[in-house]
């Protein structure tokens, strides 16, 4: 039984002077009590709509014990939403959760407006942001998989028409069109999967090449718009071999979709690959996780995860939970982590305090102000090279290639040229100490 709430749950944001280019949308949410923070979820939906270049003109919510199976919102609420949509001059209606195909069909018929849900909205944003061939293929795959079960009813009007006179088939034009559309979509999905397999093979080759170099891989992970790309860019500016190879950074949800890998070396022969990954979000559509799996799986092969948290967001704890849940889904939940509390300069708690602050495996910093980047690099190196050994080696002059190897792949603490060879005191990976143990001084 539906539980109604009498208080005002409508918010009219219509602006007569707003940009007419973007479609005007009304946001609708149902609070069943299951959401940890329903108000934040609606605020996030508004941010998603704006990221998809839509103009939010109104927000309306309802409290129910459970959603209506046929209409999602209560039957009495439908007319209120329709009236409010007309009042706000909304052109589309967006719901804060995934809708079933029948709910979309029923709501479209009742409200007489295009109906979208949160999943569809995120898919639209991904389609807008996709730049590389791989990202475009992944987004198209996810969109078609989302569309396939929702084809029913799209040609409802045509399907009421009977078959041609004398035809043995009793299928109407709409039903035939539906079958053709379904076949075309299934065929296209099959084509896209083959193309993505080719791209995945190329990514595997690149990953194996990096693995063979034995340079540790560090992945930046976290909620969307936490500052991952900003951190990567500042790292590249300071320590990258090609400072011009930065990525796009912008204060918006899902500013970047593509996984970027950059080589970082602070000059002490302790390099690492830094990977910028697509951001996570609450209720991230399963179809997107599945379609972007080959990209997201870069995380699974990392030696260390750096979880970037927007410390200025009052819901950052909940966002950290979403990140951990997504990492577990990708089988990356057990990889060692550093926690970066970014945007700490915006928090009242840290007003007047000097940043950065490093505590064990945590760092409070402000990437956009380039505060904490050097300290983060040191913390990463300290963590990933924790297993290194400090060794003393005496290498005969005839084995000069070994000396060159340690000069290039270890931190050389001291060098002494003796009669019987080159004496090196180094901090090196344990594998190198084992491999060249015959040169070790007792």
Beta-bridged to residue 435, according to DSSP, are none
The kind and range of the H/E element at 204 are: helix 173-212
The structure tokens listed for 254 are 């899902």
Q: What burial class does residue 294 get, using C-beta atoms within 10 Å of its C-beta: 0-12 exposed, 13-18 middle, 19+ buried? A: middle
The structure tokens listed for 7 are 């208080």
CA distance 52 to 45: 11
Q: What pTM was computed for the model?
A: 0.76
- What DSSP letter does each residue of 266-328 carry, written as one string? -SSS--EEEEE-PPB-TT--HHHHHHTHHHHTTGGG-SEEEEEEETTSTTHHHHHHHHHHHHH
CA 278 to chain centre: 3
pLDDT, tens only, 164-200 = 444 444 455 556 777 888 889 999 999 998 998 888 7
Residue with tokens 């939970």: 321
**Cβ atoms within 10 A of the Cβ of 172, count?**
17
Phi-psi region of 30 (alpha: psi -120 to 50; beta: other; left: phi over 0): beta
Beta-bridged to residue 219, according to DSSP, are 275, 305
CA distance 17 to 220: 41
* 124-129: long-range contacts, CB 8 A cutoff, minimum separation 24: 124/52, 125/48, 125/51, 125/52, 125/253, 125/254, 126/254, 126/257, 126/288, 128/52, 128/53, 129/254, 129/255, 129/256, 129/257
pLDDT, tens only, 262-293 = 899 888 888 899 988 878 888 777 777 776 76
CA distance 369 to 356: 11
Burial 95-110 (b: 16+ CB within 10 A, else e): bbbbbeeebbbbbbeb
| Per-10-residue mean pLDDT, the chain, length 442 | 46 60 92 88 92 93 93 93 94 93 92 92 85 84 86 47 43 65 90 87 78 83 90 91 61 66 86 87 75 73 94 91 89 93 84 84 94 95 90 94 90 92 91 91 79
Write down the pLDDT at residue 73. 94
Strands 55-63 and 10-12 come out as: antiparallel
Asked if 91 and 25 count as a contact pair (C-beta separation under 8 A), the reply is: yes
Mean pLDDT, rounded, of the chain: 84
Least Cα distance to 265 among 369, 404, 368, 385 occurs for: 385
The structure tokens listed for 123 are 């898919």
Asked if 146 and 314 count as a contact pair (C-beta separation under 8 A), the reply is: no
Write down the pLDDT at residue 299. 86
């Amino acid at each position: 039984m539906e539980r109604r709430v009498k208080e005002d749950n409508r918010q009219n944001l219509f602006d007569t002077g707003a940009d007419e280019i973007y479609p005007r949308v009304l946001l609708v949410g149902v609070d069943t009590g299951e959401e940890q923070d329903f108000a934040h979820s609606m605020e996030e939906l508004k941010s998603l709509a704006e990221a998809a270049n839509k103009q939010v003109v109104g927000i309306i919510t309802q409290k129910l014990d459970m959603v209506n199976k046929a209409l999602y919102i209560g039957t009495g609420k439908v007319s209120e939403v329709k009236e409010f949509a007309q009042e706000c001059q909304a052109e589309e209606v967006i719901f804060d959760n995934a809708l079933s195909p029948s709910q979309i069909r029923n709501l479209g018929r009742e409200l007489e407006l295009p109906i979208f849900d949160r999943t569809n909205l995120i898919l639209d944003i991904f389609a807008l942001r996709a730049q590389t061939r791989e990202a475009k293929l992944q987004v198209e795959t996810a969109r078609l998989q989302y569309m396939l079960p929702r084809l029913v009813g799209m040609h409802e009007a045509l399907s009421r028409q009977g078959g041609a006179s004398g035809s043995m088939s009793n299928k109407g034009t709409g039903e035939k069109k539906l079958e053709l559309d379904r076949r075309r979509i299934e065929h296209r999905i099959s084509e896209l999967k083959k193309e993505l397999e080719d791209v995945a093979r190329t990514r595997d080759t690149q990953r194996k090449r990096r693995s063979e170099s034995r340079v540790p891989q560090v992945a930046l992970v976290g909620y969307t718009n936490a500052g991952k790309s900003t951190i990567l860019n500042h790292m590249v500016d300071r320590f990258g071999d090609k400072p011009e190879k930065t990525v796009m950074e912008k204060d918006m949800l899902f500013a970047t979709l593509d996984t970027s890998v950059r080589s970082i070396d602070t000059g002490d022969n302790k390099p690492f690959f830094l990977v910028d990954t697509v951001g996570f979000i609450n209720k991230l559509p399963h179809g997107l996780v599945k379609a972007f799996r080959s990209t997201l799986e870069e995380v699974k092969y990392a030696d260390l995860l750096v979880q970037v948290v927007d410390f200025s967001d009052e819901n950052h704890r909940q966002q950290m939970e979403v990140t951990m849940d997504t990492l577990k889904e990708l089988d990356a939940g057990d990889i060692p982590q550093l926690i970066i509390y970014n945007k700490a300069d915006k928090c009242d708690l840290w007003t007047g305090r000097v940043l950065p602050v490093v505590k064990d495996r945590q760092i409070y910093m402000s990437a956009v102000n380039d505060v904490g980047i050097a300290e983060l690099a040191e913390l990463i190196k300290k963590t990933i090279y924790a297993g290194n050994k400090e060794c003393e080696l005496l290498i005969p002059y005839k084995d000069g290639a070994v000396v060159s190897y340690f000069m290039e792949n270890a931190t050389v603490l001291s060098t002494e040229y003796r009669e019987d060879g080159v004496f090196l005191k180094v901090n090196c990976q344990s594998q190198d100490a084992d491999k060249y143990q015959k040169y070790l001084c007792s």
